[in-house]
Amino acid sequence: MATADTYPHVIIDADGEAFIEGTRYTIKHLAAEQYFHGWSAEEILRQHPDLRPAEVYAALAYFHDHHDTIVAAIEAGKTHAERARGAEPFSRDELLRRRAVTNDRGA
């Protein structure tokens, strides 16, 4: 893994994915929290107490310097998740109804 020279604490793996060094946090994950939830660095630190301020600020600096690319990846993931969610053969309510019917027969 290579360290991004201008972003201490940020490493790039062989697939080009940026991570916070020594963690499993991807920059995309933390960027999505800011992008979708509007979380500040302080809120991200509150939500992830295992991270240090320098790590979060480096991650956010990397995100903002690569904003368009990372936002495109975040949006693509969101679109994929929405499609997968719509592909479920039964809704949660239908599955619960079927479970209730099965439980009623067994009781």
The rounded radius of gyration (Å) of the Cα atoms in the chain is 20
Q: Are strands 10-12 and 18-20 parallel, antiparallel or unpaired?
A: antiparallel
Please say whether the beta carbons of 2 and 10 come within 8 A.
no
Q: How many domains does the chain have?
A: 1
3-state secondary structure of 26: strand
Please state, in angstroms and rounded to a whole number, the distance separating the CA atoms of residues 38 and 43: 9
Please state the rounded mean pLDDT for residues 88-95. Answer: 77
pLDDT value of residue 2: 57
**Which residues constitute the domain of residue 75?**
2-106
pLDDT recorded at residue 77: 79
Query: Quick one: average pLDDT of 70-77?
Result: 91
What is the amino acid identity at position 12? Answer: I
Q: What is the pTM of this model?
A: 0.70
Query: What is the CATH number for 67?
Result: 1.10.10.10
Dist. CA 43–CA 64, nearest whole Å: 17
